[in-house]
Amino acid sequence: MPRTTHRAGFALVALAYAATTTGGSVPTPLYVLYQHRDHFGTTMISVVFAVYVVGVVAGLLVAGAHADRLRRRPVLGAALALQLLACAVFLAWPDLPGLLTARVFSGLSVGLLSGPATAYLIELRRRAAPDGDPRQAEVVATAANLGGIAAGPLLSGVLAEWAPAPLHLPYIVIGIVLAAAAVLLAAVPETATPSGGPAARPLALVGERRFVASCLGGLVAFAMFGVFSALSPTFLSGILGYRSHALAGLVAFLGLGAGAAAQVGLRRLPPRPAVAASAATMPVGLGLILLGVWVGSLSAFVTGGAVTGAAAGLLLRACLTTVVQLSPLDRRAGTLATFFVTGYAGLALPVIGLGVLSEVAGTRAALTGFALAGLLALVAVAAVRLRPDSLLEIP
């Protein structure tokens, strides 16, 4: 295909990124249907979610090791192909083993994409506008990530509620979108020159406390998103008594979409004030979520999810920007892989623990413990990023 400009390529890569993460989150409101069909509990939903994260981490490690040896476009093409394969497995193998297998492929796709797509957007932005704001690429990358994660539940929830074949049609629709994104990706100009050397270490660290705090902040943000992407439909049906698939998708969309909207709306806010804003608003959002769960208030639950999602989105963007600023150019792929591995660990481990504790101690008590643990971790991040001597550091 004829090559586009770097500016148009920037938009197409963002589209491919969003389409892939959308594919990864399509099953969110469908878990209740799988649960009723196969008669498994909340713990098994957590296991299904966990194998997805195992796939994500494996993809991140592969990307971190080989990103500098490969061109950007083939890596993104492979990620799109894996997500299409996941859709095919969902359609052809609808039993529980097929669900687990498809989630592994879906996770591999997102993990393979996250670091290289972020680097690709940064490089395309710099070539399209050398004098422009360098933070725009990080904002678009995190917005594409969260926007896609938010769009998946809304798409599948609406289709499951009002269209036929709820466990098939969502995968057909997102498969068409992924195929179109793969075709358009062929027109994006390449920005990377393969090094031709041996595989690098998949992960890289920066000897800086802000780097460590940013990775922990990413873990906290992803943990908040994980609750909405994995367990909010279960909360709605099991605790609040709302069994609408469209509502489950809408609630997940509002929580995750608020994170993307906060990033875009406050894109000029430097990392340090963004961390401060997140630290101030996330406790409010979690408090409203707990209020909604304990007293059975849908409005409090949804409002709290939106506030928490916005706070987590700001935190994620601030931490990602700090990691990019601290990363040497020759180790950017590895440091981004480290950031996303830590983040996706936060996506899996709290959700697994929450699922297990929900069956042992009850959903309300488990969610309360999760909120307290998340706030303690947020305090640790803020203690590093907001200390007075950091005024002389990267803002």
CATH code of the domain containing 85: 1.20.1250.20
Q: Using one digit for the tens of pLDDT, what is the confidence trace for 68-107? A: 677 889 999 999 999 999 999 999 998 889 999 999 999 9
Q: Would 31 be classed as within a structural domain?
A: yes
What pLDDT is stored for residue 90 in this prediction? 95
Which is higher by pLDDT, 201 or 103? Answer: 103
Q: Taking Cα atoms as reference points, which of 204, 138, 213 lies closest to residue 390?
A: 213
Q: Would 14 be classed as within a structural domain?
A: yes
- The pLDDT-based confidence of 3 (bands split at 50, 70, 90) is low
Of the chain, the percentage scoring pLDDT greater than 90 comes to 41
Q: Is the pLDDT of residue 391 over 50?
A: no
Cα Rg of the chain, angstroms: 20
The sign one gets for the Cα dihedral 355, 229, 282, 213 is positive
13-19 average pLDDT score? 95
Q: Which tokens is 189 given?
A: 């100009």
Q: Would 263 be classed as within a structural domain?
A: yes
| CA 341 to chain CA centroid, nearest Å | 11
Q: Would 196 be classed as within a structural domain?
A: no
Q: Would 63 be classed as within a structural domain?
A: yes
Q: Is the pLDDT of residue 25 over 60?
A: yes
Q: Is the pLDDT of residue 111 over 70?
A: yes
Number of separate domains in the chain:
1
Polymer length in residues for the chain: 395
What pLDDT is stored for residue 394 in this prediction? 47
What pLDDT is stored for residue 195 in this prediction? 65
Which is higher by pLDDT, 346 or 230? Answer: 346
Report the distance separating Cα 12 and Cα 183, nearest Å. Answer: 10
- The pLDDT-based confidence of 350 (bands split at 50, 70, 90) is confident
Q: Using one digit for the tens of pLDDT, what is the confidence trace for 215-247? A: 999 999 989 988 776 667 777 877 778 888 888
Which is higher by pLDDT, 274 or 196? Answer: 274
Residue type present at position 104 = V
Report the distance separating Cα 220 and Cα 344, nearest Å. Answer: 10
Q: Print the domain residue range for 314.
A: 6-190+203-392
Q: Would 1 be classed as within a structural domain?
A: no
Q: Which tokens is 126 given?
A: 């710099």
281-308 average pLDDT score? 92
Which is higher by pLDDT, 155 or 260? Answer: 155
As a whole number, the mean pLDDT across the chain is: 86
What pLDDT is stored for residue 362 in this prediction? 80
End-to-end CA distance of the chain: 42
